Amino acid sequence: MLLSGLITTPVLGATMLQCVPYARIVSGVQIYGDALTWWDQAENHYRRGHTPRRGAVLAFRPAGPMVLGHVAVVSKVLDDRRVLIRHANWSVPGAIEEDVLAIDVSDAGDWSEVRVWHSPTNQMGARINPAFGFIYPDKPQLRAFRPDPALGDSVRLASADVRADDPDEEQAAPPRKTRAASQPRLTVDMRAIHFADAAPSARSLGDIIADVKRDSALR
């Protein structure tokens, strides 16, 4: 397991697609400003909670290199602890990742700590990301995102092409033909995740990576 991607620094903000306009367009949640302000701005305007729902915005707290926070849109709920999300500017500056895995790894099961898929390495990121919770739009609906030069350069880095459950949902762009190697593997070995989570304060990232590699070699 490797570190999940870093959020773009403000220096790149003028040229690369940011997570905020992407999430606003896809979710329909009309909140502006840096991602770290969305949770507080949603108060008295949108319902908030800690249960994943399709179409909801998952708001991340600022932490480490994620200085401005982050927002992503839930495209499918797999179970209480696993969802697929659509977001921008995570694994690679400006890149769009559609229907990739996010896992709740919090002790309380309240989505306060989240791991996110890292498309360049085709696996879960090892960094645990703190989150506020979910912002629920009045009318949950996944909207299509079409590249707009005014929002900055973007590229679709990954997509699982998960079909919507709602036949009335506005569909995104038609499925794209991509190499199999670029498709996320949504089947995750939960044993490896729990193993990497063991005693995090006493183990460095290098220790975790070495242990997971050793475990894989023994299989």
The letter for the amino acid at 13 is: G
Position 83 scores a pLDDT of 98
The letter for the amino acid at 182 is: S
Q: Are strands 129-136 and 47-49 parallel, antiparallel or unpaired?
A: antiparallel
Percent residues over pLDDT 90 in the chain: 58
Q: What residues have CB less than 8 Å from 59, skipping those under 6 apart?
A: 35, 38, 39, 42, 69, 70, 71, 131, 132, 133, 134, 135
| Cβ-count burial 60-76 (b if 16+ within 10 Å, e if not) | bbbbeebebbbbbbbbb
- As a whole number, mean pLDDT of residues 115-137 equals 95
Outline where the chain has alpha helix (H). Answer: 19-27, 38-42, 190-197, 205-217
Strands (E) in 80-153, as ranges, are: 82-88, 95-104, 113-118, 123-124, 129-136
140 pLDDT exceeds 90?
A: yes
Q: For residue 19, give the nearest of 83, 97, 102, 75 by alpha carbon.
A: 97
- As a whole number, mean pLDDT of residues 114-130 equals 95
C-alpha–C-alpha distance, residues 26 and 40, integer Å = 20
Q: For residue 28, give the nearest of 133, 143, 134, 169 by alpha carbon.
A: 143
User: Is the torsion defined by CA of 144, 104, 135, 151 positive or negative?
Assistant: negative
- As a whole number, mean pLDDT of residues 5-13 equals 38
pLDDT band at 206 (very low <50, low <70, confident <90, very high): low
pLDDT band at 147 (very low <50, low <70, confident <90, very high): confident
- Ordered by where they begin, the domains of the chain are 10-188 (3.90.1720.10)
Q: Write the DSSP string, 183-202.
A: S------HHHHHHHHSSGGG
Q: Tell me how far CA of residue 108 lies from CA of 34, 117, 135, 172, in angstroms.
A: 27, 21, 19, 34
For Cα atoms 29, 152, 174, give the angle at the middle one, nearest 5 degrees. 70
Q: What is the pLDDT of residues 55-109, one digit of tens each?
A: 999 999 999 888 999 999 999 999 999 999 999 999 999 999 999 999 999 999 9
C-alpha–C-alpha distance, residues 170 and 153, integer Å = 24
Residue appearing with tokens 């390495």? 121
pLDDT band at 156 (very low <50, low <70, confident <90, very high): confident
Position 36 scores a pLDDT of 98
